[in-house]
Amino acid sequence: MKIIASLWALVVAACCLSCAQRDEALRSALDENQQRLAASQELVTKLLEENERLKSPDFKREIATPQAAGTVRSSGGGLQPMDLFDLQLATDPRISPDGSTIVYVRRFADVMTDRWYGNLWQVAFDGSDHRPITSGLRNDSSPRWSNDGKRLLYISDVEGTPQIYLRWMDSGQTARLTQLQFPPSGVSWSPDDRQIAFLSFVPSAVQTLGQMPAPPKGADWAAPAMVVDSFTYRFDKRGYLKPGYLHVFVMDAAPGVPRQITSGDFHHNGGLFGRQAPVWTPDGQSLLVVANRREQAEMDPLNTEIYQFDLSGAAPIAITDRKGPDVSPAVSPDGKWIATVGFDDAVQGYQIRRLNLIERRGKKRRVVSATLDRDVRRPTWAVNSKGIYFTFDDQGNSKLGYYTLGGKLTVLADNLGGIGRAYGGAAFTVSRNGRYAFNTTTPHRLADIGVGRYGVQKQRVVTALNSPWLDQKQLGAVEEIWYGSSKDGQRIQGWIIKPPGFDPTEKYPLILEIHGGPFSNYGDRFDIEKQLMAGQGYVVLYTNPRGSTSYGERFGNLIHHAYPGDDFYDLNAGVDAMLERGYIDSDNLFVTGGSGGGVLTCWLIGRTDRFAAAASAYPVINWSSFVLTADISAFVIKYWFPGMPWDHPEHYRERSLLSVVKNVKTPTLLITGEEDYRTPISESEQYYKALKLLGIDTALVRVPDEPHGIARRPSHQIAKVTSILGWFEKYRKMEKTE
């Protein structure tokens, strides 16, 4: 268009000249136009060549190399950084009431927009008819079948802001149901399919101080100052919070105006960490809602109860009343029982969440999972009201279990999960005929949909989202390891990833990668970041030191008021166990971890200089400053410490990483998101400055617009891994020659 406009301007100007001058001007313009066309054609050719280069494996290796920190060495054939844009995850599986079809959310990353998206897909129970329901660069989530199986609710941002949509499954027609100012969540159908309930934010009046003068007409003044008067005023992944609360709404299953059911200055969603959907009672006249409606609820974040809200507008009724959390309510189809998950709060760092039954009339409570020393999650009733499905983690593996009302446990399936990390993430649903669907992962299967049926032992995987391209990759082989802690012989479980083309007669560098939490667990699940490390020629060790979940309450509480502490011996003994295998180069030991793993990374290098380099991702360095700036301060002070930092200064100091920083000799990288409000970047800045003052080689990587975990943008997740590997390569010694 610019070329045409330029030529037209010259033609117009030429009309004012003599014929000779006009002809000369036209010839000159045509010559110039031809030159520009030739240049444009040359540019197009170069762009096409560049496009082909971007697709090539050579470019993937090139982009994976962090030039500033060192040259990353590829072992060849393994997972490479740009492969992140090819990976797809199956999440939130929802089986139809008749058990014939599963709808799930298929997550993927787009290389051009550098964003994560999600579309809805469906697959038949037998694995056939696998096809998309929605498509495109959009986020569709929370698919929910109507009870008659004819319609599907879901949330989508296809038209801008997230709204609730309804799809008729026979025709594929869709209708937008809401026009909400704030995104909905926790959608659920009424038993008769005539109404839906959901959660949405209701703003409160913005607090102001004083009276600002009005700006002159046409003036461009700065944004107004923000007055903060709540205890939790910012939260990780949500940013600075607007004043207001989450409330429950009900509306007809058709476009219309939602009606607010809950009220008051309380969040009706399950508390600080969750957005639990409201649960309908079988008669469709009431909703069960998890909330903490006490005064000063922010200071006691786990003390939630289950309330019944009638659609008639009557005052809410507290179904539970105990010190401790009551969450995940599920009403039996016959209406006699409410299943809940929770515990009597002993104010410990780790407490087992047990499955409870409450009589709806008598309100008598009994514990069903008393003999299961594992956390129960996602209770779901069998259609005959005789048993409850649920998930639990056992020794790093997520399982689907079933309890009869008498307390008999049956394990139905294992290998649940699939979030692309070695953490859990199990999800499942059950149909009326006992068929169930779940997400599934193994160390070499990223995330797919599995199915089974109660009473039938065999489960099947019915999707293969990352085949055949992932099958063509030579992934690192994963091997389980058990070893004894050098502290007390405590048995520690872990996993080893060996680089592609592994040769046991060679010597390899080792990366010890430590999980966060600290009350969480790694397991035999696919881990993108660790496979990327193995793909660059490293052996990777990841373990579950004391404090990890899925080994019982006693093991978890070995770090109660003592973290970091003796977990040093568990992790250090893991490195010793690897050296005993003979294929690890003792001169090339490296350590890294994120969040709680970042804490333990700094704890290790403060007590040993055996590592050639360390990389601590979004750690806590100073517990006193952490509890005064983090978004979960009230929780941490109550459950992780004996009290306030000014009342127990020595206790806070001894557990802070500044207490051992003077011992550090290890070159250390720090990497944190600038919008991390869980472990704010000020923590990393303190450690970075301390190492600088001590003359230790260090660098601080600040990742813009990233919250805790550094995975909001795919390129940032890649940058996290390549920065760590680049730092290790900078300090990696040449391999020994025999």
Most confident option among 141-145, 234-238, 314-318, 731-735: 141-145
Q: How many residues does the chain have?
A: 738
Assess whether 687 and 553 both reside in one domain. Answer: yes
Assess whether 385 and 458 both reside in one domain. Answer: yes
Query: Does position 64 have pLDDT exceeding 80, yes or no?
Result: no
Tell me the average pLDDT across 326-344: 96
Would you place residue 271 in the very low, low, confident or very high pLDDT band (cuts 50, 70, 90)? low
Q: What's this model's pTM, rounded to 2 decimal places?
A: 0.88
Tell me the average pLDDT across 627-632: 95
Would you place residue 273 in the very low, low, confident or very high pLDDT band (cuts 50, 70, 90)? low
Do the domain assignments include residue 611? yes
Backbone angles phi, psi at 179, to 5 degrees: -135, 70
Q: Write down the pLDDT at residue 605.
A: 98
Q: How far apart are CA 682 and CA 625, in angstroms?
A: 9
For residue 226, give Cα distances in angstroms to 72, 232, 245, 493, 631: 45, 14, 18, 48, 18
Q: Which residue has the tokens 């003036």?
A: 219
Tell me the average pLDDT across 181-189: 96
**C-alpha atoms less than 13 angstroms from C-alpha of 36 in its C-beta half-sphere:** 13
Do the domain assignments include residue 190? no
Both tokens assigned to 650: 């020595």
Of 465, 500, 518, the last residue of a domain is 465
Both tokens assigned to 662: 């003077």
Of 422, 442, 465, the last residue of a domain is 465
| Residues above pLDDT 70, as percent of the chain | 88
Q: Write down the pLDDT at residue 296.
A: 85
Instruction: Give the model confidence (pLDDT) of 141-167 as tens digits.
Output: 999 999 999 999 999 999 999 999 999
Assess whether 408 and 541 both reside in one domain. Answer: no
Do the domain assignments include residue 381? yes
Asked if 598 contacts 633 with a C-beta cutoff of 8 angstroms, the reply is no
Q: How far apart are CA 68 and CA 65, in angstroms?
A: 9
Q: How far apart are CA 57 and CA 404, in angstroms?
A: 53
Both tokens assigned to 252: 């007809």
Query: Does position 39 have pLDDT exceeding 60, yes or no?
Result: no
Q: Write down the pLDDT at residue 272.
A: 60
Assess whether 589 and 726 both reside in one domain. Answer: yes
Q: Write down the pLDDT at residue 604.
A: 98
Q: Which of 270-274, 430-434, 455-459, 470-474 is predicted least confidently? A: 270-274
**C-alpha atoms less than 13 angstroms from C-alpha of 626 in its C-beta half-sphere:** 27
Q: What is the CATH number of the domain that holds 536?
A: 3.40.50.1820
Assess whether 580 and 510 both reside in one domain. Answer: yes
For residue 392, give Cα distances in angstroms to 368, 369, 377, 396, 411: 14, 11, 6, 10, 10
Would you place residue 77 in the very low, low, confident or very high pLDDT band (cuts 50, 70, 90)? confident
Q: What's the domain count of the chain? A: 2
Tell me the average pLDDT across 642-647: 96
Contacts for 225 with CB less than 8 Å, ≥ 6 apart: none
Q: What is the CATH number of the domain that holds 453?
A: 2.120.10.30
Assess whether 486 and 432 both reside in one domain. Answer: no
Assess whether 444 and 568 both reside in one domain. Answer: no
Q: Write down the pLDDT at residue 63.
A: 29
Q: How far apart are CA 294 and CA 305, in angstroms?
A: 10
- Mean pLDDT of the residues in the chain: 89
Tell me the average pLDDT across 192-197: 97
Residue-range definition of the domain harbouring residue 367: 333-465
Assess whether 539 and 663 both reside in one domain. Answer: yes
Assess whether 668 and 603 both reside in one domain. Answer: yes
For 384-497, list the strands marked E by DSSP: 387-394, 397-404, 409-416, 428-430, 435-442, 445-453, 456-461, 478-484, 491-497
Assess whether 498 and 382 both reside in one domain. Answer: no
Most confident option among 71-75, 207-211, 324-328, 456-460: 324-328
Query: Does position 24 have pLDDT exceeding 90, yes or no?
Result: no
Query: Does position 562 have pLDDT exceeding 80, yes or no?
Result: yes
Of 465, 494, 511, the last residue of a domain is 465
DSSP conformation class of 522: -
Q: Which residue has the tokens 């004391």?
A: 546
Do the domain assignments include residue 577? yes
Contacts for 77 with CB less than 8 Å, ≥ 6 apart: 473, 474, 500, 501, 535
Assess whether 391 and 508 both reside in one domain. Answer: no
Would you place residue 275 in the very low, low, confident or very high pLDDT band (cuts 50, 70, 90)? confident
Q: Write down the pLDDT at residue 363.
A: 72
Query: Does position 60 have pLDDT exceeding 90, yes or no?
Result: no
Do the domain assignments include residue 421? yes
Assess whether 354 and 458 both reside in one domain. Answer: yes
Instruction: Give the model confidence (pLDDT) of 375-432 as tens digits.
Output: 999 999 999 999 999 999 999 999 999 999 999 999 999 999 999 999 999 999 999 9
Do the domain assignments include residue 375? yes
Instruction: Give the model confidence (pLDDT) of 486-525 as tens digits.
Output: 999 999 999 999 999 999 999 999 999 999 999 999 999 9
Query: Does position 240 have pLDDT exceeding 80, yes or no?
Result: yes
Contacts for 187 with CB less than 8 Å, ≥ 6 apart: 142, 144, 153, 154, 155, 164, 196, 197, 198, 277
For residue 575, give Cα distances in angstroms to 225, 294, 513, 665: 52, 48, 11, 18
DSSP conformation class of 84: G
Do the domain assignments include residue 65? no
Q: Which residue has the tokens 């899925």?
A: 550
Q: Write down the pLDDT at residue 208.
A: 86
Instruction: Give the model confidence (pLDDT) of 437-466 as tens digits.
Output: 999 999 999 999 999 999 887 899 999 999
Do the domain assignments include residue 71? no
Asked if 676 contacts 685 with a C-beta cutoff of 8 angstroms, the reply is no
